[in-house]
Amino acid sequence: MAKIIVVTSGKGGVGKTTSAAAIATGLALRGQKTVVIDFDVGLRNLDLIMGCERRVVYDLVNVIQGEAGLNQALIRDKRVDNLHILPASQTRDKDALTNEGVEQIFKALSEDFDFIICDSPAGIERGAQLAMYFADEAIVVTNPEVSSVRDSDRMLGLLASKTRRAEQNEEPIKEHLMVTRYNPSRVDSGDMLNLDDIREILAIDLIGVIPESEAVLRASNQGVPVTHDSDSDAGLAYTDAVSRLLGEDLPLRLYGGQKKGLLSRMFGGTRR
Amino acid sequence: MSLNVDRDTSAFTFKGGMLPMTVMELTSADPEHIREQLAGKMNQAPAFFQHTPVVLSVERLDEPHLSLERICAVCRTHKLLPVAVRGGSDPVRQSAWALGLGWFPPLEASRPRPLESVSTNAERTPITEEEEEVTEMLPGGVGRIYRGTVRSGQQISAPEGDLVVVGAVNAGAEVLAGGSVHVYGPLRGRALAGIHGNPLASIFCRELRAELLSVAGNYKRLDDIDPRLLNTSVQIQLTDDQLSITPLD
């Protein structure tokens, strides 16, 4: 049985797709058979981040509507053997997704894969609700800012009430907090919320802190998930998060953005 | 299961709402008497009279036959919009309906339902349905207890009795009770106690950061709260129709 993990946030632009791609890649690199599904029908991005946009023929909606088989739509990743991508449709809208169709896809994928990663669209509408509905675990992606934290809080409320596990009174979805675009020096200067504040408000376990990093931007534009960039701060942070997802107990390490010492602050030394 | 709802075919959804509503408590049934007083008030506070919806409460009147039509007309000429009547005898109720107004049962007899919901059929809407299950009854019988974080967008209510939250109430969340609200954690959202008008209800919290505090309809926003009291343990009570916030320790 595959484990279904939804990557969600409520707010847009916080790094859901980047995180979904990085985590799926990380899991596959650890030998787990992984498929990553783009639920953002109409605004698909995952194929770009995964660097497979030129190989999309069929998509999620085609499969749900019976126009293509699942194996025709699945794209095998060029870099990692165990990784597949199921892209979203760019021309349909989210109403093309049905509960039953999504359930069937999950059932079929569960037989072949260890992990199903769902990249949720922003918002709390149908697309986002479908992406989370069948999930076993959720990774809630949050930026260190007030609006993002509040939207994540809303999302956690929905995860606890509007999902299959909640409706059927099963064991609740396991929730993980992933803080992205974390910039220690901006936290110190008070421009961003600090980690403790976020953890206190959201009150769920932290699975990773991804630093604000040029490596992420570079990775997105090149279509290579940042996990492959194993020298980068963000790549290391995602690798740690994947280890925690697989049940390892790693101490929290903050990569990148070492606190500026007194001297560098005085002389305005730049990092990186 | 909201997922199966076909959004294209539904024309509307019912939503529970807590709207601020002015209750006009009548102590005289004489339309002329009301007219005089309204004219005076209108001079004092013209800004209030902007087609403001009001509920006419006739509970304190002991008259089986009211000239409801004339009272409503007086209100309307002073830019008040009567939307419903509260209390009164059966003929009063009939004439309210005939005038197209809603009718609420008098406070004493009213079953636990928020008076603020002005819709004429004050049905409980499914907004709280998902959360209702997660609260347990308090051992004493009346009231409810919720363990965990009340998150943004969630509404937890105890229509009768007290509500106890063991955890945080986050910004954007709402907790309501017919009695008092007790929050053993930070209160960052909205807390409404005494929603049926009980002036003895209170709010207690470990860390005050509330967006809104209300006891029996008297409210304070975050901006109205003395900054020195923020993030401290407090109790909030109604004294002389004013919310007073006092430290607990």
Tens of pLDDT, residue by residue over B101-160, are 888 887 754 434 333 333 333 333 334 434 444 677 777 677 899 999 999 999 999 988
Query: Is B8 in the A-facing interface, judged by CB distances under 8 Å?
Result: yes
Check CB contact of A162 with chain B, cutoff 8 Å.
yes
Q: For the segment A153-205, what is each residue's pLDDT rounded down to a tens digit?
A: 999 999 999 999 999 999 999 999 999 999 999 999 989 999 999 999 999 99
Tell whether the model's pLDDT for residue B44 goes beyond 60: yes
Given this model, what pLDDT does residue B127 score? 41
Residue B2 lies in a domain: no
Kindly give, in sequence order, each residue whose CB lies less than 8 Å from that of residue B61, ignoring residues fewer than 6 positions away: B26, B27, B28, B29, B88
Rounded to the nearest integer, the mean pLDDT of chain B is 81
Same domain assignment for residues B177 and B135:
yes
Average pLDDT over chain A, rounded to an integer: 91
Full domain range(s) for residue B54 = 22-104
Q: How confident is the model at residue B8 (pLDDT cuts 50, 70, 90)?
A: low
Cβ atoms within 10 A of the Cβ of A142, count? 27
| Cβ of residue B112 closer than 8 Å to a chain A Cβ | no
Asked if residue B9 is part of any domain, the answer here is: no
Contact indicator for A149, A142 with CB cutoff of 8 Å: yes
> Are residues B53 and B149 located together in one domain of the fold?
no
Cα–Cα distances in Å, from A170 out to A146, A167, B3? Answer: 32, 8, 18
Read off the pLDDT of residues B207-247 as tens digits, 9 standing for 90 and up: 999 999 999 989 999 999 999 999 999 999 999 889 999 99
- Quick one: B97 and B161 in the same domain? no
- Cα torsion through A248, A252, A254, A259, rounded to 10: -160
Give the Cα separation of A70 and A55 in Å (integer): 15
Q: Where are the alpha helices (DSSP H) in A113-163?
A: 126-133, 146-159
Indicate whether B211 and B141 sit together in one domain: yes
- For B33-39, what is the mean pLDDT? 87
- B89 and B170 in one domain? no
CB proximity A172 to B under 8 Å = no
A16-36 pLDDT, tens digit each: 999 999 999 999 999 999 999
Residues B181, B224 within the same domain: yes
Nearest Cα residue in chain B from A154: B152
Same domain, B163 and B215: yes
Chain A residue with the nearest C-alpha to that of B131: A161
Whether the CB of B9 is below 8 Å from some CB of chain A: the reply is: no
Residues of chain B with pLDDT > 70: what percent?
Answer: 83
Task: CATH number of the domain at B168, please.
Answer: 2.160.20.70
Residue A257: predicted pLDDT: 58
Q: Where are the beta strands (DSSP E) in B170-241?
A: 174-177, 181-187, 190-193, 203-208, 212-215, 218-221, 234-239
ipTM greater than cut 0.90: no
pTM > 0.95: no
The tally of domains found in chain B comes to 2
Q: Is residue B109 part of a domain?
A: no
Are B86 and B156 members of one domain?
no
Q: Which of B131, B168, B172 lies closest to A150 in CB terms? A: B172
Give a yes or no: residue B112 inside a domain.
no
| CA dihedral for B117, B121, B122, B125, sign (positive or negative) | negative
- Give me the pLDDT at residue B63, please: 75
Q: Which of B150, B151, B166 to mutate to test the interface with A (most CBs of A within 10 A)?
A: B151
